[in-house]
Amino acid sequence: TEMAELAEAGCIGFSQAGAPVVDTQVLLRAMLYANTYGFTVWARPQDPHLSRGGVAHSGSVAARMGLAGIPVAAETIALYTLLELVRETGCRLHLCRMSSAAGLDLVRSAKAEGLPVSADVAVHHLHLIDIDIGYFDSQYRVDPPFRSQRDRDAIRAALADGTLDAICSDHTPVDDDAKQLPFAEAEPGVTGLELLLPLTLKWAGETRTGLLAALGKVTVGASAVLGLGETAGAIREGAPADLCVFDPEEAWTVTREGLASQGRHTPYLGMEVVGRVRFTVVDGRVVFER
């Protein structure tokens, strides 16, 4: 990929999407080149060898259910490599979908060191843990996997202290043929975008996080990660009129029929959530109305 040409076209960052970069020499060169142009490299910290074949958090729940596990070390080993390359290159790094307490400790230390690092977490990881997969329910098959109660609590603490900069929807729709299979064979992924608001509000209520602070993790926090500064993510004079108008108190039940995504799979099917989008405005134009 010609980074220089992409920079001229307005590109702000690069990633390997869900695929790991196995060759660290390639990753080193990519980060050196990205730093030259001021790009951010986006990476999901998961060692491909330690995670190969795994479908659940490596712990007592997976062992009891006979499921192949993905250990926390898959995240931390990848993080050690990525952070060392940041030290070597100076490249700005964004870490996607953090899942473990040990991994968050490394991110916290890297920030304290002054490394140009940011991180996010998937909204469903604010609530669910490995024991929630229950009776091999493939709706709970996600990547990275839901981890332990300790990891979930560490995620919430990392949001509070600023170690985690943003909350993402991790919107990964999966069709019925790929999802309605035995747990170990099902494709990982859930519908996340339509539940980003109610699940963020649920976390805010349970942790007594202020509404503005909670919403900041999906607005100004996300804007900062993207390097958009004051041009997005906030309501201010001169900024684009990109708005989400919602009712924070409306209760509704999550159903397949009520979801607009092509993939209608989520652990929250049949559950009642609170908070619903009423209007979406993009550049001053209403593009969605319930």
- Catalytic residue positions, numbered: 170
Rounded Cα distance, 51 and 56, in Å:
10
Handedness of CA 153, 83, 96, 133 (dihedral sign): negative
Token code pair at residue 121: 């977490």
Close Cβ partners of 56 (under 8 Å, ≥ 6 residues apart): 62, 65, 67, 68, 69, 70, 130, 133, 145, 146, 183
From the CB of residue 77, how many other CB atoms can be counted at a distance below 10 Å? 17
Closest CA to 287 of 222, 248, 240: 240
| Contact by Cβ (8 Å): 170, 222 | no
The stretches of the chain forming alpha helices (DSSP H) are 3-8, 24-36, 48-51, 60-65, 73-89, 101-113, 149-161, 176-179, 196-207, 211-216, 220-226
> Three-state SS for 285?
strand
Q: At what angle do helices 196-207 and 149-161 cross, to 10 degrees?
A: 90
Provide the total of helices (H) and of strands (E) in the chain, helices listed first: 11, 10
Closest CA to 239 of 278, 284, 289, 279: 284
